[in-house]
Amino acid sequence: MLRISKVQVHLASVRQMVLQNAPHDDLSLQLRALCGSLQQIESVVIQDGLYACLEQAHRDKPEVAIERVMRMLNLHSPEGDSFTGAQAKSDHLELLRGRE
C-alpha cells in the first residue's frame, strides 16, 4: 500500500504542477518519478503473478499458467492471439510435458 500511496502523491504533484503551469523540466522530473513508482508496483504484481502461475503449473495446469504469464508479460495481441503463434505455443506445451 505504501507504493500506491507514493503514486498518489506523485500524481497529485503532477496535477498541481499542470494547473500552475510549472516549468516543463520540473514537470518532466515529476512524471519520471511517477513512472518509476508505477514500474515498481508492476514489478511486484508480475512477481506475485509468476509465483501463482508456477504453483498452478505444479498443480497440473501448465496451459493455464502459460496463458496467464503471457498475458502478464503482454505477449498477446488485443484479440487474444499469441504473438508467438499457435505452433510456437504448441511446441512450448510439448516441451513442458516432456515430449520432444
For 42, the grid coordinates are 508492476
> Is the CB of residue 7 less than 8 Å from the CB of residue 15?
no
pLDDT digits (tens, 9 = 90+) for 14-53: 999 999 999 999 999 999 999 998 998 888 888 888 888 8
Domain extents for the chain? 1-43, 60-100
Distance CA 99, CA 53 (A): 21
Higher pLDDT, 25 or 2: 25
- pTM for this structure? 0.58
pLDDT digits (tens, 9 = 90+) for 45-87: 888 888 888 887 777 777 777 787 888 777 654 455 544 445 5
Query: Which pLDDT does position 94 carry in this prediction?
Result: 55
For 11, the grid coordinates are 500524481
SS3 41: helix
